[in-house]
Chains A and B, each alone.
Chain A
């Protein structure tokens, strides 16, 4: 029941055009970090490409719909193109829910490990985007003295350091339409930004409203203090 997602490679990035991404890898930082952070739409679009091409073979994103991609800057035509380009193995249309229609199938096929739904993974895991990046780039050969469980891979970012997910990201696993070099780290950072958006689609709006609310109430507080003092002084 794997999903195939080839035609997206032709999808032009609506936001970034042909500009290459700025270097966010050294040192690693995300535009969504911090109290005034916002979603980097170009990175999230690239992350969606990585998700659809690589992650979606095993992981669902139940809370997402193709129409949500409008928030990342895609036009309705582009979204329709994306949705039309996703096919199940038998050629039928695929949604973003689980690629495994039999819930027992993934656990039996992957050594008992169920691929978790990715729609809110950035909110569930401590560290969010940083953790996702560290996990996706944290694969290494197991040090001497570590006995690996069957079907597991050594990953220094995963709690317990043994993860059932194989290392799936490699250089040029996707081709970015905006010309960004698709290194493994770049793909990991982009998919981390995409999953941050998926877990918190209103992050940018929330921070914008919050900044305005704080400024408004700070001024209101100053005005209220002045008026209170004046009223109480005149009352004496």
Chain B
């Protein structure tokens, strides 16, 4: 520790933190998922800042085209931002699914798990807002349905909806949604910071004398994870920049024409499937809120206790749930066959059945 650390105290604290041999010497690569999420959020903020400089919410579709065609390397920043959203949801979904498989949500990790679900919920809203900002045909009709649905509600819910959308979807709506997109993205960073703090408090520490420091051991591990992530990201960004986005969104919105195939981006599809499976506006809202709520309640639905055995049967059911969620997404994306509505109801039923019935029973039986 030299003189500059005395002058800048936080540097000394950082050095002490990085060099303290407190970490367990067996780190998993997938433990880097929250760290990668933080790096990606910073990357998305930077690319989003570049896009926001040129974006004009009053002529949304034209300005997205302008950024892609006329702004120097604008097409590249667009590909980064769109692929960043895809990669972000890939990381968050993988993080949550891994916590479910390893039962990392159990005490003392309930708070970390709850913050992870909250992070996903905020990011889903940010992702939808970003999708709507593109101003394409699919985005326009999604906003049209959401704002009309929100305004049709009575009482406090309608008032909140009216305040959020500022009235029926019009040219001014995107101007306020652009603001919400940016502010809620900062909110997602705050949630992620809380998640880091909560995780640091509960992560098991090494025995004295047995631990390793972050530098250089875990830094080397992070570099591997980052390189692999950057490799996957490059493949997505440069070879499939529109992965999971509806092709119809390349069409300018026309209030008099509802084109075929107006679906949401892939990361919103499972929740959209649950919303579509339940009747009415309130059905959709309660479906989405309930789906997130049962997910957040998982530490208390799992009856095996903090030290209970991890059974294989529940692990199989977790994989079945993953297949169920993928099925929800696929069915919500391709709704042009008559069995789709029935399938959506079945998949939605299984989702709630898994959390509310299977989870308590199977974990209680396996813990005995």
Contacts and interface: CB of A to CB of B under 8 A. Distances in A.
Contact of B216 (A206, A221, A231): A231
A84 to B, nearest CB: 23
Nearest to B221: A228
A35 interface: yes
Interface in B155-169: none
Chain A interface, DSSP helix/strand/loop, else mixed: helix
Given A210-B235, A213-B234, A232 B217 contact: yes
Contacts of B227: 217, 220-221, 224
B224 A231 contact: no
Contact of B234 (A119, A125, A217): A217
A218 B212 contact: no
22 contacts: A123-B242, A123-B250, A124-B248, A126-B247, A201-B75, A202-B76, A206-B79, A206-B238, A209-B238, A210-B234, A211-B238, A213-B230, A214-B235, A217-B230, A217-B231, A221-B227, A221-B228, A224-B220, A224-B223, A225-B224, A228-B224, A231-B220
Interface in B12-69: 25, 65, 69
A119 B239 CA distance: 21
B265 interface: no
B250 A235 contact: no
B315 to A, nearest CB: 29
A174 interface: no
Contacts of B75: 201-202, 206
A188 interface: no
Contacts of A236: 25
Contacts of B270: none
A176 to B, nearest CB: 27
A46 B81 CA distance: 34
Size category, B interface: 20 to 34
A68 to B, nearest CB: 8
Contact of B220 (A63, A210, A221, A232): A232
B223 A63 contact: no
Contact of B217 (A124, A210, A218, A235): A235
B212 A235 contact: yes
A218 B228 CA distance: 8
Nearest to B260: A159
Contacts of B230: 213, 217, 220
A199 interface: yes
A33 to B, nearest CB: 12
B251 interface: yes
B25 to A, nearest CB: 8
A124 B251 contact: yes
B237 interface: yes
Nearest to A116: B251
Given A218-B231, A224-B227, A231 B250 contact: no
Contact of A124 (B220, B238, B250): B250
Contacts of B284: none
Given A206-B79, A206-B241, A217-B227, A125 B247 contact: yes
A120 interface: yes
Interface in B214-256: 216-217, 220-221, 223-224, 226-228, 230-231, 234-235, 237-239, 241-242, 247-248, 250-252
Contacts of B241: 206
A221 B227 CA distance: 5
A227 interface: yes
A207 interface: yes
A207 B234 CA distance: 10
Nearest to A219: B227
Contacts of A225: 224
B217 A207 contact: no
A117 to B, nearest CB: 8
The 8 closest A-B pairs by CB, nearest first: A210-B238, A221-B227, A213-B234, A217-B231, A228-B220, A123-B250, A224-B224, A224-B223
Contacts of A227: 220, 223
Contacts of B212: 235
A206 B78 CA distance: 12
Interface string A60-76: 00010000100000000
A214 B247 contact: no
A163 to B, nearest CB: 15
Given A224-B227, A231-B217, 13 more contacts: A63-B69, A68-B69, A120-B65, A120-B251, A159-B260, A202-B76, A206-B79, A209-B76, A214-B231, A214-B235, A217-B234, A228-B221, A235-B217
